Amino acid sequence: MNTLQAIVLGIVEGVTEYLPVSSTGHLILTAAAMGLGAQDGAAGDAAQLKAAVDRFSIIIQGGAILAVAVLYWPRVRQILRGGVSLVRPGVRDAQASMGVHLILLLAAGFVPAAIVGVLAGKWIKANLFGPLPVIGALVVGGILMIVIAPWHRSRLRAFGGSSGGVSHADALRGLSWRGALFIGCVQTLALWPGTSRSLVTLLAGMLIGLPPVAAAEFAFLLGLPTLGAASAKDLLEGLREMGAAEFLAALGGPMPVLAGSLAAMASAAVSVKWLVRYLGRHTLELFGWWRIIVAGAFAWAIAMGWIAR
């Protein structure tokens, strides 16, 4: 992988990681279009493509995670203060109390996917990482977003769009650990590649009464431990299997890694800020149509021999 390819994949990862469109499907399709995984002019094997994309996304995901941490630094700071207050209760104030509340919510939302990931991770990788399951998940998710558009529109009216109704802070303050646990349970569906963690987290949040933008904010915050833990786990496994030098060499060396990470961070920041503004006034229908288009492009790539079945 060269630096230009790394930048392209970094941009795709950053833009799609937090949009409800599935970063996995987009990364696999982009990697195939650039010829990654192909040998001697033959179609790139899906398993080889997924392995290459996985290795690289382990690193560049860190850039997307850091972008959210920077954009939502006030929330992250609350969480950190809450963590300190758990050790030193004497320093707890209103901000620390909100931080403790957020820690409880994130823990409740994180645990279900962590448990299912550990118990069923190998089965999922063996059975659901092929092109057809990804295409199926993209289509089903796309149809779902189109079908629920009228309901989503009613939710926007109920909360007054982006400038009125219940504030995001009040919405998250009122979210219970049971609600967060429900969101976490629904988030396990995103272990199926092509489903989109952002999609299921957003929908679950709205189902329990969160305003759309507040549901998006919780999805972003929940991505910090969820994506961070997944990346750390895969990174440690890769280092254990290949060794640090070989693992870095498989990614093309330090320059592609750095360039891809920076590209992912910058594009994720733009993507998240745009999505928050968009969700204040619009439904997810646009993303539904986009998912169906991407699924069609994925199927076309297979039919043309760019990706092996």
How many helices (H) and strands (E) are present in the chain, helices listed first?
A: 14, 0
pTM recorded for the entire structure: 0.84
Task: Give the pair of three-digit tokens for residue 271.
Answer: 């993507």
Burial 286-307 (b: 16+ CB within 10 A, else e): ebbebbbebbebbbebbeeebb
Residues 108, 184 contacting (CB under 8 angstroms): yes
Distance separating alpha carbons of residues 131 and 194, to the nearest angstrom? 9
Task: Give the pair of three-digit tokens for residue 75.
Answer: 């929330």
- Using CA atoms, how far residue 121 sits from 142, 170, 192, 205, in Å, is 25, 36, 10, 25
pLDDT in tens, the chain (309 residues): 788 988 999 999 999 999 999 887 788 778 777 777 555 444 445 555 566 666 777 778 889 999 999 999 999 999 999 999 988 877 778 888 999 999 999 999 999 999 998 898 888 877 887 778 888 999 999 999 999 999 999 888 887 654 444 456 678 888 999 999 999 999 999 988 889 999 999 999 999 988 888 899 999 999 999 888 878 877 787 788 778 787 777 777 789 889 999 999 999 999 999 998 898 889 999 999 999 999 998 888 888 877 666
CB-neighbour burial class of residue 201 (10 A; exposed 0-12, middle 13-18, buried 19+): buried
The CA-based dihedral angle spanning residues 75, 76, 82, 86, taken in that order and rounded to the nearest 10 degrees: 160
In order, the DSSP letters of 158-208 are HTTTTTSSS-HHHHHHH--HHHHHHHHHHHGGGGSTTS-HHHHHHHHHHHT
